[in-house]
């Protein structure tokens, strides 16, 4: 629910001044839809502290829902590998590499296969088919063995 309601709240709150100017000529001086969305949001996430004016950034309205979902996912993970991957994924700056510029002349370009492996590891997807490595060990589909085999 946090995606739709938070989007409506962010856009509605950011235009409250304009709405007041437009609605001043009519019998209704406030946008009741925004306040009904605000009540729905508060019913799910609790009352707001005395914020005046209301925040107009969607990230503010999204954050409680995201943290709630993150907690639910984290509490459902029992495997240490997946917990480590999850904690690395939600750590600050874990996605910064996606913002880097690709400058081939300086050697700052990842091959398409490397991007595929990085994203697969990030999401916990299978990278390959389970097989016997050249060293004789069994490599699983998650591709972790390939990161540590010499």
Q: Which residues neighbour 8 within 8 Å (Cβ) at sequence distance 6 or greater?
A: 33, 34, 37
Q: Is residue 19 domain-shared with residue 48, that is, in the same domain?
A: yes
Phi, psi angles (nearest 5°) of residue 132: -90, 125
Provide the token pair at 132. 């016997």
Residue 120's pLDDT is what? 85
One domain, residues 65 and 89: no
Instruction: Please check whether residues 61 and 99 belong to one and the same domain.
Output: no
pLDDT value, residue 25: 74
Q: Which residues of the chain have pLDDT under 70?
A: 1-3, 28-31, 51
pLDDT for res 1: 46
Question: Which of 11, 43, 76 corresponds to the end of one domain?
Answer: 76
pTM above 0.75, yes or no: no
pLDDT value of residue 76: 95
pLDDT at 28: 66
pLDDT, position 29: 63
Evaluate whether 56 touches 14 at the Cβ level (below 8 Å).
yes
Q: Which domain holds residue 36?
A: 1-76
The pLDDT value given to residue 71: 93
pLDDT score at 75: 95
């Amino acid at each position: 629910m946090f995606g739709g309601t938070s989007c409506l709240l962010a856009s509605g709150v950011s235009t409250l001044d304009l709405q007041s100017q437009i609605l001043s000529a009519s019998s209704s001086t406030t946008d009741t839809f925004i306040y009904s969305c605000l009540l729905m949001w508060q019913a799910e996430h609790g009352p707001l502290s005395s914020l005046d004016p209301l925040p107009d950034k969607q990230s503010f309205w999204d954050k409680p829902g995201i943290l709630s979902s993150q907690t639910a996912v984290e509490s459902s993970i029992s495997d240490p590998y997946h917990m480590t991957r999850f904690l690395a994924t939600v750590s600050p700056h874990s996605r910064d590499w996606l913002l880097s510029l690709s400058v081939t002349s300086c050697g700052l370009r990842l091959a398409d296969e490397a991007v595929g492996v990085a994203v697969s590891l990030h999401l916990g997807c299978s990278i390959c088919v389970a097989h016997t490595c050249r060293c004789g060990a069994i490599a699983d589909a998650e591709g972790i063995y390939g990161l540590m085999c010499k």
